[in-house]
Amino acid sequence: MSAAPSASTPARVRLYDVDWLRVLAILLIFVYHAARPFDTLEPWHIKDSQTAGWMIYPMVAGSQFMMPLFWVLSGISTRFALGAHAAGAFVRRRLLRLLVPVITLGWFILSPPQVYIEATTAQGYNAPPFSGSFWEFLPHYFTEGFYGFGGYFAWNGMHLWYLVYLLLFTLLSLPLFLYLRSAAGGKVVEALTRLLVRPGAIYLLGLVAFVPEVFLPRGIPVLTWTEGGWTLGAHWVFLILGFFVVCDPRLRPAIERQRWAALLLAAATLAPLGFLAPAIEALTFGSPAYLLVWGLRTINGWFWLVAILGFGSRHLNVATAGLARAGAAVLPLYILHQPLIVVLDYFVRDWAIPVGLKYPLMILAVFVIFALLYEFLIRRIAALRLVFGLEPAPARRREATP
C-alpha cells in the first residue's frame, strides 16, 4: 500500500505492513465465521448438530479487535486511495469496488441460499421460518420484505454489510477527509500530532469511540445497530481514526513505540472484562456500572488496535513474493467465505463428527474450494474480476516482431 506524499514525506512509501495486516485480518474473520456453526453463542444462519462451549472464549476475545481492525485498515486504505485525486473520481472508484459486489453477488447470488438455509432450519435468527424447496422460496425472497425486518430480501448482502456501510460512511466522511488533506486541515493534523506523539498520548484517540459505544442510547437507527460485536457508529469512528493515523508520518512511529505497553494494557483489561461481559447487555444505560463496563470494553479494543498496528509496523513492513497475490485475494475471500461455510455445513451438519475434527475440516474444505474458484475463474475472467471488486487484469505485453 503506497502512502500519499506530503510535506514530510516527499516520496511515496509502500506500507507492506498494512497489506500484511489486511491479509491476516481476512484470515482471522474466515476462521471466526467457520466457528459460528459450532459455537454456543447467539443463533446464526446455520448451526451444526455438534457444538462446543469452549469456542466462545477465543471468539469473544477476538471480537474485541477483529472488525475494528478491519475498519482502521479501511480508513488507511481510504487515505491512500483518495490521495490527491478529485473527489468525483474517488467516489466513482469506490462505487465500482464496493457497490457492484453487493448488488450483483450479494443480492442475487450469494444471499438467497443463506437466507433459505436459515429460514428452513429454524435458526430463530433474522429470517422468518419457511417450508419448501429452494425454488419455491425464491419468489418469497424477492417479494416479502427485507431481511432483518421480517422479510427475506438481503438488502445489505448478508455478510457484505461491511461493504455497504464502508461505502456509506466513506461518502458521509468525504468532506472531513477532503478537509484533512487540505492546507487548513493540515494545520489541525499538525497540532493534534504534536500532542499525540508524546508518550502514551496515542491512547487518547480511542476515547472517540466512547461516543457511539458508551454514550449513545441503544435504539438510534444505524449508529447503534450492532454488527461484528460493535455498534456501526463505532465502526465509523474506527474508519476515521484509520484515515487520520496516516495523515502525518509521525503518528505511525508513535504507535509503534507504544506497541508493548498497548499489548500489556490490552491483556490486563481483557481479564476483568471477561468476568463482566456476561452481564453487559443487562446493564442500565447511563448507570455507573454501564459506563464502567462499556468504557472498559471500548478502550480495551483500542489497546488491541495500537498493539496490532505497532507490531505490524515493526515486524511486517517487508515485501515477499506472495504478498501482492495474497492481497489481491482479500476481497474475493471476504465475499465468498461465509456463503461457502453456510452451504457446506448445511449438508454436513448432521454428521456425527467431533467439533475438534469437524471445525478444521470445515476450514480446510472452504479454503480449498475458494482457492480453486479464485485461481481458475475469478482472477482469469474479466466479468468476475469486476463483480468481485478486483482491478482489471493488466494487458499482456506483446513480443516485438523482428
Report whether pLDDT(381) > 90. Answer: yes
What is the predicted pLDDT for the residue at 7?
Answer: 40
Report whether pLDDT(346) > 70. Answer: yes
- Tell me the three cell numbers of residue 117: 438455509
**Side chain identity at 260, as an amino acid letter?**
W
Average confidence (pLDDT) over 278-297: 87
Q: Which residue has the higher pLDDT, 218 or 372?
A: 372
- Tell me the three cell numbers of residue 91: 467516489
Question: Model pTM?
Answer: 0.94
What is the predicted pLDDT for the residue at 402?
Answer: 36
Our measurement of the distance from residue 3's CA atom to the centroid of its chain's CA atoms, rounded to an integer in Å, reads: 21
What is the predicted pLDDT for the residue at 337?
Answer: 98
What is the predicted pLDDT for the residue at 2?
Answer: 59
Report whether pLDDT(9) > 50. Answer: no
What is the predicted pLDDT for the residue at 186?
Answer: 95
| Structure confidence at residue 283 as a pLDDT band (50, 70, 90) | confident
Average confidence (pLDDT) over 75-102: 94
Backbone φ, ψ for residue 43 (5° rounding): -55, 160
Average confidence (pLDDT) over 168-186: 97
Average confidence (pLDDT) over 372-376: 97
What 8-state DSSP symbol labels residue 146? B
Report whether pLDDT(12) > 80. Answer: no
pLDDT tens digits, 220-244: 999 999 999 999 999 999 999 999 9
What is the predicted pLDDT for the residue at 399?
Answer: 42
Backbone φ, ψ for residue 221 (5° rounding): -55, 140
| Structure confidence at residue 338 as a pLDDT band (50, 70, 90) | very high
pLDDT tens digits, 187-200: 999 999 999 999 99
Residues 6+ apart with CB under 8 A from 334: 26, 29, 159, 162
Instruction: Give the DSSP H/E element, type plus range, for residue 204.
Output: none
Residue 147, strand partner residues = 151
Report whether pLDDT(397) > 70. Answer: no
pLDDT tens digits, 123-151: 999 999 999 999 999 999 999 999 999 99
Pick from 97-111, 212-226, 360-374: least confident: 212-226
Per the CB < 8 A criterion, the answer to whether 29 and 41 are in contact is: no
| Structure confidence at residue 275 as a pLDDT band (50, 70, 90) | confident
Closest CA to 125 of 166, 101, 159, 99: 159
| Structure confidence at residue 14 as a pLDDT band (50, 70, 90) | confident
Q: What percent of the chain is predicted at pLDDT more than 90?
A: 85
Residues 6+ apart with CB under 8 A from 152: 115, 119, 127, 128, 130, 137, 140, 141, 142, 144, 145
pLDDT tens digits, 304-322: 999 999 999 999 999 998 9
Closest CA to 114 of 352, 330, 332, 337: 337
